[in-house]
Amino acid sequence: MGEEKKFVVTFHPMSKVESRDFVFGQLVWSDSDGKHKVMSPIVIRRK
């Protein structure tokens, strides 16, 4: 408990998205056996 980790996440579009469109989704973090999961909602806007 109290452990910190840093991650870099890179996103690449899978389809054409207009430059001002927003895309909504979530990141799902889980432990190695899949018993515990944490969902983090995200919003991405293309530049």
SS3 labels along 19-46: CCCEEEEEEEEECCCCCCEEEEEEEEEC
Residue 5 lies in a domain: no
Taken in order 37, 40, 41, 47, the sign of the CA dihedral is negative
13 lies in a domain? Answer: no
Q: What is the pLDDT of residues 1-47, one digit of tens each?
A: 788 888 888 877 777 766 677 888 898 888 888 899 999 999 988 76
Domain assignment of residue 40, given as a range: 19-47
Residue 1 inside a domain? The answer is: no
Examine residue 11 and state whether it is found in any structural domain, yes or no: no
pLDDT at residue 41, as a whole number: 94
Rounded Cα–Cα distance for residues 11 and 17 (Å): 13
- Indicate whether 31 belongs to any domain: yes
CA distance 25 to 4: 24
- Say if 27 falls within a structural domain: yes
Total number of domains constituting the chain: 1
* Predicted pLDDT at 24: 87
Structure tokens at 26: 């979530």
